[in-house]
Amino acid sequence: MTKVHTLKEQQELRLEISFDETIKVQLMTGTAEVFGCELLERKEYTFTSCKVPIFTWHGCTITITGECTNYIGEGVEMYKYLNTHTALENIRKKAREDSNLNGPRVLITGPPSCGKNSLSRILLNYAIRMGNSPLFVDLDPNQNEIGVPGTINVMPINKPIYPNEGYSLASPLSYFFGSINCSDNLDYYKILCQKLAQSIDERIELDEAARTSGIVVNTIGCIEKSGLDLLKFIIKTFGIEYVIVIGDERLSNMLSNLTLEPKKIKKEEEIKNEKEEENEIKKEKEEEKEKEKEKETKEIVEPKKVQIIQLKKSGGVVVIDEKERKTIRRILYKRYFYGITQNLKPSSMSTSWDGLGLFKIKYLEQAPEGALPFGKRSKLDPINVKRISPSSKLDFHIGAISFAKSTKKEDLLTTNIAGFIRITKIDEKRRRITYISPSSRALPSQIIIFGQLTWYSD
């Protein structure tokens, strides 16, 4: 069944596609976009189990094949989103003209189901359309847009985020938290955020496009006491200059007095890596010269207030409950192993567990700070991991393949991840593990780390 919808300028066709339902969309005339990505005329787009806003600035005709809930709304907030993009683009322009300046560091926050993911995509797609290559950081382990649930990630965005494809999973830098709730171990979560922020700073020093394009950070939806403290920690850790708050004036007020700490910014000629000199004497002289050069050219940036940008929630945002979130997580696991359009066929493989290093993160229940004596902190080790023996308890668990070069606990839990497997069977008699993997190649590492992540159904 095919329906034709005619949209006037600045209207939005909002589609709500039920789980496991599929529709096809075509732009017949005019111009339209989905999350800031332009639709191509007459191209057929397939959507499954999602909510899709099709916005037009100048009017268009859309055909929909298949059954879904749909209605036309006024996209009044898109003007404000565009204005926000324009302000960020002006900052990028200044960074391109002055090597002492960096592109904008933007964080998007707000209560659950306020449209953080949608706005992230819009700002990223608009940036791409202007020739930028921003870094996208997703710190939400519950419904991560880049990796599987239970991870935090960063990846460069250098091509449009197509509406029916999502983010490419080819080049993310991923850290494994192992749980969908930050509160399961806030200290460990903060450690991973610091590792990710350090990696971003290193990338920006070496990548001119990343330096001028900046970063966009998507956060968790919790803004209560512990969530607010965590949010402030993230803003400080990632050096956030601009905080976009969606649909919560109270939160905007609570963040209004945040300031950035002074930072030293190197000039462009300083950030180039010097090649290692074979002669030790020459190397020492080169290092001395470099230190003198840094003293002459570094400049201090005075503290400044974090700028708060208040935006309203789009009328197309739908509140989802925990049952729906659980279904979305299942879809995200399936997307990783089977592809966004289910066009991939993961490999089922079996291997001896001899030689494998299997570890599991332990999530200790920590006493709230209010329950501790004044000025005291919990002495529980936030990085707690133990070696485990294979058993049927691992069936259907998601395992992270670690790039760790040793089995020291700090190395195990603060090293980025190569990818993931799903355990399907443990044969204790034959000492073999059966698992599915997106790749038919041998595992890139023998170290596999487990948390609390399970996926029971396809």
Pick out the residues of the known binding site for ATP.
12, 51
Q: How many residues does the chain have?
A: 458
Extract the tokens encoding 422: 């799903």
Q: Residue 397: CB partners within 8 Å, gap ≥ 6?
A: 422, 423, 450, 453, 454
The owner of tokens 């189901």 is 113
Chain-centre distance of CA 353, in angstroms?
32
Task: Determine the Cα–Cα distance for residues 357 and 449; give it in Å rounded to an integer.
Answer: 8
DSSP code per residue over 68-113: -EEEEEE-THHHHHHHHHHHHHHHHHHHHH-TT----EEEEE-STT
Chain-centre distance of CA 401, in angstroms?
19
- Greatest alpha-carbon span in the chain: 77
DSSP code per residue over 321-384: -HHHHHHHHHHHHHHHHH-TTS---PEEEEEESTT-EEEEE--PPPPPGGGSPTT----S-SS-
The owner of tokens 């700090």 is 410
DSSP 442: P
Task: Determine the Cα–Cα distance for residues 152 and 137; give it in Å rounded to an integer.
Answer: 8
Task: Determine the Cα–Cα distance for residues 399 and 175; give it in Å rounded to an integer.
Answer: 12
Q: Residue 6: CB partners within 8 Å, gap ≥ 6?
A: 59, 60, 61, 62
Task: Determine the Cα–Cα distance for residues 122 and 140; give it in Å rounded to an integer.
Answer: 18
Distance set, CA 387 to CA 44, 358, 380 (Å):
49, 6, 19
In 17-66, DSSP assigns E strands to: 22-30, 33-34, 37-38, 44-48, 51-56, 60-65
Distance set, CA 37 to CA 52, 108, 158, 352, 376 (Å):
12, 19, 13, 46, 50
SS percent in the chain: helix, strand, coil, step 5: 30, 30, 40
Residue ranges of the annotated binding site are 12, 51
Angle between helix 116-129 and helix 77-97 axes, rounded to 10 deg: 50
Task: Determine the Cα–Cα distance for residues 433 and 427; give it in Å rounded to an integer.
Answer: 6
Q: Residue 436: CB partners within 8 Å, gap ≥ 6?
A: 337, 346, 347, 348, 349, 421, 422, 424
